[in-house]
Amino acid sequence: MSALKFAAERAVAIHAVLTASKVCQRVFTKLVNGETITKKDKSPVTIADFSAQAVINTFLHNSFPADPIVGEEDSKDLRGEEGRPMREKVLELANSGLDSPLTEETLIEAIDRGMYAGGAHGRMWALDPIDGTKGFLRGEQFAVCLALIVDGQVELGVMGCPNLPVDVKDQNGEKGCLFITVKGQGAFQRNFSSLTETPISMSAIQSLNDASFCESVESGHSNQSDSARIAHLLGITKPPVRMDSQCKYSTLARGDAEVYLRLPVNATYEEKIWDHATGSLLVSEAGGIVSDIHGKPLDFSKGRTLATNSGVVAAHAKIHNKVIEAVQKVLFPDGKL
Ligand SMILES: Nc1ncnc2c1ncn2[C@@H]1O[C@H](COP(=O)(O)OS(=O)(=O)O)[C@@H](OP(=O)(O)O)[C@H]1O
Ligand SMILES: [Mg+2]
Ligand SMILES: [Mg+2]
Ligand SMILES: [Mg+2]
């Protein structure tokens, strides 16, 4: 019997994401105070974001040296005298997850291997070393997200969610979930503490009255007043589940919520491919449909951003159409785009 497609990539991605997730957990328990810097776009970045990107890029490079990587972070703020204090901490942390230690030079090289421009041809990895950095800093949800994209199609995704309860019904129980998906092979959940993978699928609710929807904690990332109006129109009565990061996608994929709305807050923001690659495949392999607010599939072939899409709407395949109709009614009441 031949091995399943992308078996080697799957194994490497699992090991890389799990190792990076544990590095992030170590950072959180040790610090975090005073270890944050802010990029020009005002988004926070911590020593954990850099260390996780260095660790994952190193694993990828060791196993698939020809594969380019589209990673969120770059080493600009770690360079020179100014960057020294942060660089030294990142080096120590990254090396805590690696068998062969990096030097300052190879650390910078590893991080900057994530600067690929993306595009429609060939293989590439998309990496968000910490998605939901704000959630990470608050001690809430964040996710380490890695995806393999081939010719513009997401083929594989692995997501580490260190703070996500293994069982939604036991919020104080064990935390730390790994989600794994390969196109055509389904979606799976594993606990950090166990090797057993369990298939997951979305819940097929009978009526939207029973549905719950997920959205960002940050109102600057998704328009929460529009989503409240859409929920009302759909007859959704439960309050929104506000959660940081791509944990929203895994929450849908394992059946804990039915709809994910990410509604543009301004006309110029382009969603980043690393913010959606892993999560969108998880949801579609678990029985859902992921599109933009117009019902158009997300197009990962346009470079580092989803330049031709606007927002995100994810829902069970049976109700996705209805959700898009409501989104359009609320966002474009005159039928004009
Ligand atoms: N204006 C705007 N609109 C939409 N999205 C934006 C915007 N600005 C930032 N970002 C990206 O949001 C990523 C965090 O995702 P979430 O909003 O789901 O989580 S959170 O509520 O911010 O914690 C966050 O990812 P990380 O930087 O990896 O945390 C950003 O890439
Ligand atoms: Mg960021
Ligand atoms: Mg992100
Ligand atoms: Mg990030």
Pick the atom of ligand 1 nearest to 266's CA.
1
Backbone angles phi, psi at 118, to 5 degrees: 75, -170
Whether the per-residue pLDDT at 1 is higher than 80: the answer is no
- Final residue of a structural domain among 199, 229, 255: 199
- Contact (Cβ atoms closer than 8 angstroms) between residue 253 and residue 286: yes
Residues 29 and 133 in one domain: yes
Q: What is the CATH number of the domain that holds 242?
A: 3.40.190.80
179 found inside a domain = yes
pLDDT tens for 34-48 read 566 666 666 667 899
Q: How far apart are CA 12 and CA 26, in angstroms?
A: 21
Specify the range with the lowest mean pLDDT, choosing from 34-43, 179-188, 224-233, 318-327. Answer: 34-43
Q: What is the CATH number of the domain that holds 121?
A: 3.30.540.10
Residues 128 and 236 in one domain: no
Q: At 29, is the pLDDT very low, low, confident or very high (cuts 50, 70, 90)?
A: confident
Residues 189 and 59 in one domain: yes
Nearest to 290 by CA among 304, 271, 269, 266: 271
Whether the per-residue pLDDT at 153 is higher than 80: the answer is yes
151 labeled part of a ligand binding site: no
> Which residues crowd ion ligand 3, with CB under 5 Å?
128, 131, 275
pLDDT confidence of residue 207: 82
Whether the per-residue pLDDT at 33 is higher than 60: the answer is no
What is the signed CA dihedral for 59, 72, 35, 89, rounded to 10 degrees?
A: 30
DSSP 8-class letter at 115: B
Q: Measured between alpha carbons, how far apart are the two ends of the chain, in Å?
A: 51
Quote the ipTM score. Answer: 0.94
Cα–Cα distances in Å, from 109 out to 50, 112, 182, 206, 333?
Answer: 12, 5, 29, 52, 50
| Tokens (6 digits) for 57 | 């890029």
Domain interval for residue 275: 208-331
334 labeled part of a ligand binding site: no
Residues 193 and 263 in one domain: no
Q: How far is the CA of 134 from the centre of ligand 1 (A)?
A: 8
86 contact partners, CB below 8 Å, separation of at least 6: 35, 37, 47, 50, 77, 78
- Positions marked active-site: 49, 133
Specify the range with the lowest mean pLDDT, choosing from 49-58, 157-166, 328-337. Answer: 328-337
The count of domains in the chain is 2
Q: How far apart are CA 251 and CA 247, in angstroms?
A: 6
Q: At 270, is the pLDDT very low, low, confident or very high (cuts 50, 70, 90)?
A: very high
pLDDT tens for 208-230 read 888 999 999 999 999 999 999 99
Using a pLDDT cut of 70, give the percent of the chain over it.
Answer: 95
pLDDT confidence of residue 160: 98
Residues 33 and 173 in one domain: yes
pLDDT tens for 189-209 read 999 999 899 999 999 887 888
Tell me the best of 45, 218, 227, 292 to mutate to test the pocket of ligand 1, counting ligand atoms within 8 Å of each CB and taking the most.
218
1 found inside a domain = no
CA atoms within 13 A on the CB side of 47: 25
pLDDT tens for 273-301 read 999 999 999 999 999 999 999 999 999 99
- Final residue of a structural domain among 199, 219, 236: 199
Residues 47 and 153 in one domain: yes
Cis before 144? omega within 30: no
Backbone angles phi, psi at 292, to 5 degrees: -90, -170
pLDDT confidence of residue 137: 86
Residues 153 and 257 in one domain: no
Average pLDDT over residues 131-153: 95
150 found inside a domain = yes
Pick the atom of ligand 1 nearest to 49's CA.
28
2 found inside a domain = no
130 labeled part of a ligand binding site: yes
Tell me the best of 49, 216, 221, 266 to mutate to test the pocket of ligand 1, counting ligand atoms within 8 Å of each CB and taking the most.
221
Q: What is the largest CA-CA distance in the chain?
A: 60
302 found inside a domain = yes
Ligand located closest to 275 CA? 3
Residues 137 and 36 in one domain: yes
Alpha helices for 132-223 (secondary structure H): 133-138
Q: How far is the CA of 49 from the centre of ligand 2 (A)?
A: 8
Residues 156 and 67 in one domain: yes
337 found inside a domain = no
Residues 84 and 194 in one domain: yes
Average pLDDT over residues 18-31: 88
Residue of the nearest CA to atom 16 in ligand 1? 245
64 contact partners, CB below 8 Å, separation of at least 6: 9, 12, 123
> Which residues crowd ion ligand 2, with CB under 5 Å?
43
Residue of the nearest CA to atom 7 in ligand 1? 221
Q: Which residues of 206-227 are buried (b: 16+ CB within 10 A; e: fewer)?
A: eebeebbbbbbbeeebbbbebb
Average pLDDT over residues 49-78: 97
- Final residue of a structural domain among 199, 231, 255: 199
pTM over 0.90: yes
Residues 193 and 114 in one domain: yes
Coil vs helix vs strand at 211: coil
Residues 195 and 53 in one domain: yes
Average pLDDT of the chain? 94
40 found inside a domain = yes
Residue of the nearest CA to atom 6 in ligand 1? 221
- Contact (Cβ atoms closer than 8 angstroms) between residue 286 and residue 188: no
CA atoms within 13 A on the CB side of 49: 29
Coil vs helix vs strand at 49: helix
Tell me the best of 136, 275, 280, 304 to mutate to test the pocket of ligand 1, counting ligand atoms within 8 Å of each CB and taking the most.
275
Q: How far is the CA of 281 from the centre of ligand 1 (A)?
A: 18
Q: At 31, is the pLDDT very low, low, confident or very high (cuts 50, 70, 90)?
A: low
pLDDT tens for 75-118 read 999 999 999 988 999 999 999 999 999 999 999 999 999 999 99
